[in-house]
Structure 1
Amino acid sequence: MLAVGVPWFSLHCHRETAMLQSLPAPSHVLAVQLSSDLSGDDVRQYKALLHTHVQQPERLGLLIDMSDLNDMAMGTLAPGVRADLDLLKHASQFDRLALVSDKHWPGLLLRMAGPWLHGMQLRQFASAEREQALQWVAEAAVEQTVVVLPPALRLIPTTSEGLLAFEIDGPISRASVASVLPQIQAFLDRHEHIDVLAHFKHFGGIEPALYLQPGLLQMKFKAIPKVARYALVAAPGWMDTLAHTLRPLLGDMQLRSFTESELAQAWEWLAAQPR
């Protein structure tokens, strides 16, 4: 559960009883302490606490005290994933997440989760700093002027009928993906074999609600076997590394990375140009 968008880790400690405790906190802060494996009862308790908090109109904070956890294992992966999915449905209501632990790996989790939890501030505190952590997550969000930004995801018309090209410039929201999803689906229906060019002008993170976008996962699974060549242009380093790590699982797909200054070379490799 605590992974908050990085559910492949779950928690286990060498104790006989499972425990998730609610901690005293302001009404707009969900604060819990984990002391052992997550049981079904723990997950139900957590979901009840989450449901109570997300009914509030105000912005929320989340504190997870992991100080008593001894190690990690896969023993509670299933309930942890279910809890993560429940949180992702409401992640846009949370401004801040604090993990309390003296270990190093929670900080690593936060760094990994950061790009996927756009708009949420993430921070680790030592066990002796729990009160500071609670104060930090409880601080009222500073009101900001709402600025309407252009969609961060834009399809690029090209000279090649079988090329799907898109540009990312900013944080990817559920709304921006929903606006182009029908066009991408229609493109996939028309072609048995395709090329893809993804140009990252600026990757501003991903809105958590996007992970629950209806039809998105099915579309990705449908698209992967069709891709012959995939050009990644100016992708963030971690994303580029992940893509090439997964490359052996992608069949015959050719995957190449290009820097921003090599954009023209990427178009040339795909034998196409933007229109």
Structure 2
Amino acid sequence: MVELIEIAPKVLGLKIDGKITEEDMKKVIAVCEDKMKAEERIAIYVEIVQMNGVTFSALKEDLKFALPNFKRFSRKAVVSDSKWHEPLIKIGDKLFPSIEIKHFNPEEREAAVKWVKE
């Protein structure tokens, strides 16, 4: 499940708790498209409570939208108490150098919000 969090006009805020479905992804993409109408580039704030995977249809929707638009994303803050995604962040830095990605622990939530809003 993905919950939308209001952070700032140029920031897409997400809270993930469970499995990400196609319905979740379509909701996220719709909000992202709205923000992109008003901003040239947007940032993403992701707070992971628990990640139980992504359905194939959700992944397909995400890639279909994200790949042609990846240069429109400036930063991504990932807040989680888990370190399993840090290697993915390093890979993402190499694949998408235009997007600055940084991991924060849950106690650094305020710093993550401040950083992603810069």
- Global fold match (TM > 0.5): yes
Give 1:78's aligned residue: 57
How much is the aligned-residue C-alpha RMSD, in angstroms?
1.7
Equivalent-residue separation in structure 1 for 2:98 and 2:25 (angstroms)? 25
Which one has the largest radius of gyration?
Answer: 1
Relative to structure 1, the CA distance from residue 84 to residue 129 in structure 2 (aligned partners, 3 Å threshold; closer, same or farther) is: farther
Q: Does 1:69 align with 2:62?
A: no
Q: Identity over the aligned pairs, expressed in percent?
A: 21
Give 2:88's aligned residue: 109
Deviation at 1:39, TM superposition (A): 2.1
Q: Which runs of 5+ in 1 are unaligned?
A: 1-18, 140-275
Equivalent-residue separation in structure 2 for 1:46 and 1:80 (angstroms)? 12
Q: 1:118 aligns with which of 85, 97, 116?
A: 97
Give 2:28's aligned residue: 46
TM-score by length of structure 2 reads: 0.89
Give 1:59's aligned residue: 41
TM-score by length of structure 1 reads: 0.40
Give 1:30's aligned residue: 12
Q: Would you tell me which structure has more helix in proportion to its own residues? A: 2
Equivalent-residue separation in structure 2 for 1:34 and 1:84 (angstroms)? 18
**Matched position secondary structure for 1:80:** helix
Counting matched residue pairs gives: 118
**Matched position secondary structure for 1:35:** strand
**Matched position secondary structure for 1:55:** helix
Amino acid at match of 1:28: K
Equivalent-residue separation in structure 2 for 1:24 and 1:104 (angstroms)? 25
Q: Would you tell me which structure has more strand in proportion to its own residues? A: 2
Query: In the TM superposition, what whole-angstrom CA distance separates every residue of 1:130-157 from its partner, at most 9, and x where no partner exists?
Result: 2211111110xxxxxxxxxxxxxxxxxx
Runs of 4 or more consecutive aligned structure 1 residues displaced over 3 Å after TM superposition? none
